[in-house]
Structure formats: structure tokens, C-alpha cells
Structure 1
Amino acid sequence: MFYYVSKVAWFFATPSNLLISLILLGLVVALFPRTRRLGIGLALAFALLTAACGLLPISSYIIIPLENRFPPFHDDDKPVNGIVLLGGSVEAAESVARGTLVTNESGERIIETIRLAHLYPQARILISGGGTVFGEGVAEAPIIAAFLTSVGVDASRIIIEDRSRTTYENAVFSRDIAKPKAGERWLLVTSAWHMPRSVGLFEKVGFPVIPSPVDYRTSGSFTNQRFFVFASEGLRRLDIGTKEWAGLVAYYLSGRIATLLPGP
């Protein structure tokens, strides 16, 4: 029950949704004669705040500490036993409907996995990504697996985990399927801003991983961030950053990660 309540609560707490809701609230308050000026003032104030959050590089400053936490992975001439690719890069329903792979803005996760698969031809590839929020819909992992085989990755190397709905379940189910042995080296592929929480969860459940972050949204520097041309882009980044920090806090308080901001 907590899982479903948290998903619904976050839908309303997502910054872009919350800001729009507050603007609408101000307009509703303005419908009553006694509170018309107050309502108009509130609607205007929240509209300006929405514009500021969308156009100013506020969201970039929120994401930079997450993306900078782990460096990019470079081949160190040591063997790699496996690669874990976390879901979140494919629009599963659209992929099935169109009969082709439909990726979202995190599609670099798949590109990186293909690169690593060719760099380490003996490594197993575990694709973790399954159910939707309410347990229905199309699982993501089989779709990615089919695409990997279509570009030359041996199907016998691929392991599918198609039940997980959260990053915590990614870690638990991946550990149970991979059964990593002491001394094995497994790479973890996910977005750079998602890597701290992911590494913390995998380590907590006893699945040590080596980060291979991709899908960067910022340059990594606090000094050269620019205004956004489209407010929607800034708001989207704000949603991502605040959700990730909220996830870190929630998992830390629940004991699922050892530190608030896991690092190397």
C-alpha cells in the first residue's frame, strides 16, 4: 500500500504539477469577490515562480552534485563478468505498438550497454526493468533484450529481469538472478543523476557494482550554466532532480541505503 500511496503523492508533489496546481488554486480563489485580489496575486506569483524555475538554471544546480558523484567508466584492462542495465530508457507500450524500439531521453543507457557488450564479449548482460506502477502494461526488459540481439549481441548472454517497478526492486531482483560471486566485477549502467541512489541500493543488498554513468543533463560545472530556451526543459529537469533527491532521503531514512549521498 505504501508503494501506491507514494506514487500518487509524488504525482501531486512533482514541482511542475505542484506549480500548475497552485496557479489554478489562485484562480479559483479569485472567483470569489472577497478574495479576488488575493487569488489574482497568488496566481501571478506562482506563474512567475513557474517561469523562473523553467528558465533559470535552478534545476541544473540541483542535478550537478548527483551527476558529479561518480566519474565515467573507462576500461582498465581488468575482466568484467557482467553488465546490469537499469530500465527507464524505453517507452514499452509505444515500442510494441510501433513494432520498433522507441526510446526516451535516457536512451544512452542502451547505447552504453551495447558498447560495453562489445568491449567485454564474455560478460553477461542483465536487463532489469519490468512492471508499471500498478502492475499492468508491457515490461521493458524483453523489448531491450530483443533489440540487443538484433544488433549482434548473443542472446545466450542476456538475462531478463522483468518484475521490478522501483530501483530497490531492480537491486534485489538483479541480485537474486545474477547471484554474483565474490571477486566478480559487474558494471552498472544508468543515468548519471540516478547513479548515487542505484549504487547505494545495490551495495546495501549485497551486490557490489562498478558505476558506468551515462545520460548527463549538465556540463558538471556550477559556473557556466545557461538559461533555458524552453521553460518546459527546465521544469522537466527540475522534476528529475527533486525526485532523485527525494528518493535518496526516503531510502536513507528507511535504511535502504547506508548514506544520504552514496559515492565512490
Structure 2
Amino acid sequence: MFFIFSKILFLFLMPLSLIFCCFAYGLWTKNARHKARSLKSGIFLILLFSNGSLVNEALLAWEIPPVAPHEITGTFEFGVILGGGLIQNKTADADQIFASETSDRFIQPLRLYKQGKIRKLLISGGSVSINGYSTDVSDESRKVAQLLIELGVRKEDIVLELHSRNTRENALNSQKILKTYQNSGKILLFTSAFHMRRAVGCFQKAGIEVQPFSTDFRSEIRNFNPGTLLIPHEKSLFLSYFLIRELIGYTVYKIIGYI
């Protein structure tokens, strides 16, 4: 039920929905004052959500900051990779793998594995995309495992968790697997930077202490040049969508006690 509620809530609070409602009301109402305010509000929201500098500042505030590999001390028994959107949703042959823009979530743990800082990789989920809307028919977790093996990870060092459909299930199902190992030890968690707060909260709620290693950053270096501060950008509107969706998801998880 919460899943449906969160999607309905997001549908009404996404940037384009808010902008559309303002303009729709402005065109519909007969009240001249309300019409003017509504149309001005629509224009303000367009400028707000498409402002590169402001959106980037919001992302910088929300995303968990990056960690350099040399800052990782000791050896982690497991690196947990959260799936969902790692592989493009394409019908492909067994030897075809199409990585998506979020593939950084398995590239970074691969680097640390190669450096001897992670012993095993647990790939969790991937039955639905990170957006939560569509089934990933490319069998994502197995595809990622196949790619990691080809890139040098030993098959016995990869553990698959294939049933999770959301972040809470990632945590609960990973916890069941990890407790079967006598010494699961220190856990390094990999997911997109904008999603890391919710992921860490879910894993801690499930009784798993993790150290976050953010990947797939949407924020950029702080920049207040005229091009990003004064000129609207479609990309910023798209990033606003991502951020608002995650804020709503985090809030819903918090309310129902998942984090």
C-alpha cells in the first residue's frame, strides 16, 4: 500500500506536475488576482527547478560525499552492491551486456576488490529498476556478476541476492545472507549517492552496520557562473525530478518505520 501511496504522492509533487497545476489553474480561474499569482508561480517554479546552481546546491547537501579509495582502511569482508538500473533493460543474448549510466555502482566496488580492500561482493536485487516502475528483464544481478567475473573477480567471491524489489528488501534479504557467514565482518555499501541516505537507514534498521561508499554522483563541483545561475537548463529540471523522488521516498520510509 505504501508503495502505491508514495508513487501517487510523487506524481503530484514532481516538478512538471506542480508547474502544470499552476498554469492549469491560472487558465481556468476567473479571478484575476488568482490567475496572475498562479501564472507567476508557474514561471517561478520553472526557473527554480531548472536553475543549475540551485539544483546542484540541493544535490550537494543531500548526497553522501565521496570517499577516496586510499581512505578505506583495513579489509572489508563484503561489499554490498544495490541493484536496480545497473544494466539497460534490453533483450540480449547471454554474452551481451549493456551497462547503464548507474554502472558506477559496480565499477567502484570492482576497483576496491582489485585493490584487496573487499573480499566478497554481494549483489542485491535488480528485479525492478531503481525508479520502481518496470521489471528488469535483462536479469540484472546475474548480468552484473557475469561482467565482474570477466573483469577479474573470482566466481566464488560473488554472492547473488535475486529477490529484492526495493531498498528495504535489499537490507532484509542481505541480512539473511550475511548471517549465514560466520564472519561477515565489516560491510561496505555501494549505491547512488542520492540514494545512500535511505539505503544506510534501511540496513541499520535491519541490524547491519555498514560504511557507505557513494557512487553515481549527480552533483557537480559548486559553480555559480552566469551560465548555471541565470540560464534555465533542461538537465536541472531532470535532476530536480530525481531529488524530489528520493526525498519523498526517504520521507515515506521514515514515516512507516523502514529507516
TM category, shorter: 0.7 to 0.9
User: Any residues of structure 2 matched to 1:204-223 within 5 Å, and which?
Assistant: 204-219=205-220, 221=222
CA distance in 2, matches of 1:95, 1:151: 22
SS in structure 1 at match of 2:165: coil
- Matched residue type, 1:247: G
Corresponding residue for 1:118?
114
Residue number among 126, 131, 137 corresponding to 1:130 in the alignment? 126
**Is 1:176 the equivalent of 2:176?**
yes
CA-atom RMSD in angstroms: 3.2
Residue number among 246, 251, 257 corresponding to 1:255 in the alignment? 257
Corresponding residue for 2:164?
164
- Matched residue type, 1:2: F
* TM-score, length of structure 1 as denominator length: 0.78
CA distance in 1, matches of 2:247, 2:241: 10
Aligned-residue offset at 1:75: 4.8
- Matched residue type, 1:8: I
Corresponding residue for 2:51?
55
CA distance in 2, matches of 1:91, 1:8: 27
CA distance in 2, matches of 1:44, 1:253: 33
Which deviations, in whole Å up to 9, do the C-alpha atoms of 1:103-160 show, x marking residues without a partner? 12x2321220221221227611111122234674424222211221222222221112
Aligned-residue offset at 1:44: 5.7
Aligned-residue offset at 1:24: 4.4
Aligned-residue offset at 1:253: 2.5
Q: What are structure 1's unaligned runs of at least 5 residues?
A: 258-264
User: Any residues of structure 2 matched to 1:1-264 within 5 Å, and which?
Assistant: 1-27=1-27, 29=28, 34=30, 42-43=38-39, 45-68=41-64, 71-72=67-68, 74-94=70-90, 96=92, 99-104=96-101, 106-120=102-116, 123-132=119-128, 133=132, 136-138=135-137, 139-179=139-179, 184-219=185-220, 221=222, 224-226=223-225, 227=228, 231-257=233-259
Which deviations, in whole Å up to 9, do the C-alpha atoms of 1:232-255 show, x marking residues without a partner? 211122122222222332222322
Aligned-residue offset at 1:15: 2.1
Contact 1:101/1:143 (<8 A) preserved:
no
Aligned-residue offset at 1:167: 1.3
Q: What are structure 2's unaligned runs of at least 5 residues?
A: none
Q: Residue 122 and residue 86 in structure 1: after superposition, are their counterparts in 2 closer, same or farther (change >3 A)?
A: closer
Contact 1:189/1:211 (<8 A) preserved:
yes
Aligned-residue offset at 1:172: 1.0
Between the aligned residues of both structures, percent identity stands at 27
* TM-score, length of structure 2 as denominator length: 0.80
- Matched residue type, 2:194: W
- Matched residue type, 1:211: P
Contact 1:108/1:214 (<8 A) preserved:
yes
Q: Residue 164 and residue 11 in structure 1: after superposition, are their counterparts in 2 closer, same or farther (change >3 A)?
A: farther
SS in structure 2 at match of 1:187: strand
| Superposition misfits of 4+ residues, deviation over 6 angstroms | none
